[in-house]
Amino acid sequence: MVVGSAQAPQHSGLAEDFVGFAVASGVLRFGDFKTKAGRMSPYFFNAGLFNDGAQMGRLAQFYAQALLASGIEFDMVFGPAYKGIALAATVAVELARQGRNVPFAYNRKEAKDHGEGGSLVGAPLQGRVLIIDDVMSAGTAARESIALIQAAGATPHAVAIALDRQEMATENGHDVAHSAVQYVRNQLGLQVCAIATLADLLRYLSHTAGADMAAHHERVLAYRQRYGVEAG
C-alpha cells in the first residue's frame, strides 16, 4: 500500500492478518508505553521481538506481499543498521522466492578500516533504492539513509515499514500536523509502503472478540483521536 492512497480490500486483509501475527508473536503489545516523543501510548510495536527463524520468515512474507501489491518500482533493497539489516536480507530472500530477485545492501554504524573497509556491506548501491525498516518515528533514520544512498550515487526511491502509527510527529518538542510518514513522502519525496497502519490495528481490535480487546480498542481509539493525523 502506498500511504495516502485507498487501501485495496485484499491489502486490508493482509494488514489485519499482520496485526494478528504481531499480537500473537508478542511484538505488538497493549498497556502503557512511553514513546520517543514522550507520549503515553496504549500500544507498543517492537519488531526486534520477531526473533526466531519462523517469525522472520513470516514477517518477510508480509513485507514482500505488501511491496508487490503496492506497485512500487525499485532496483534493490537497503537495510539501515541495525534492525534494517535482518529485514533487508530476509525480504530480499522472500522477494526472490516470489519471482522478484533484487540485490540488497546494508550499512554499519562504524566504518571498518580493514578488509573491505567502509560502512556499506553487500551489493553496490545503484539505481532506485528501497529502504526497509520497521517503523518511522521522526524520519531521522530515513534522512540518514537518504544521505548515505545519495553519497554512493544511487537514488533513494521508497521506504517500506511494518507499521504506520499515523500520529503527529514532533519538531523541537512540539506536535506538528503531519506524521513522520507524511514528512518522508511529501517533503523528502519518497514513496512509502506500510504493511499495516493504526487504522488496521483498530479494525483488528474491533473484529476480535473479548472484553480485553474491546478495552484496548477504546484506549487506542482515544489515542488516535488525540494524536492521529488524516491520511494523505
The pLDDT value given to residue 19: 97
The pLDDT value given to residue 3: 35
pLDDT(50) > 50: yes
Which residues make Cβ contacts (< 8 Å) with residue 156, sequence separation at least 6?
129, 131, 145, 146, 149, 150, 188, 190
- Whether 112 is catalytic: yes
| Domain definitions of the chain by residue range | 9-227
pLDDT(110) > 70: no
Confidence of residue 168 (pLDDT cuts 50, 70, 90): very high
The pLDDT value given to residue 111: 59
User: What pTM did the predictor assign?
Assistant: 0.90
pLDDT (average), residues 111-120: 59
- Whether 34 is catalytic: no
Question: How many residues in total does the chain contain?
Answer: 232
Q: What is the mean pLDDT of the chain?
A: 89
Class of domain 9-227: alpha beta
pLDDT (average), residues 189-216: 94
38/45 Cα distance (integer angstroms): 16
Contact 136, 144 (CB under 8 A): no
The pLDDT value given to residue 6: 37
Among the options 112, 178, 207, 217, which is catalytic?
112
Which helix (H) or strand (E) segment is 22 a member of?
Answer: helix 9-24
Among the options 36, 109, 114, 174, which is catalytic?
114
pLDDT(113) > 60: no
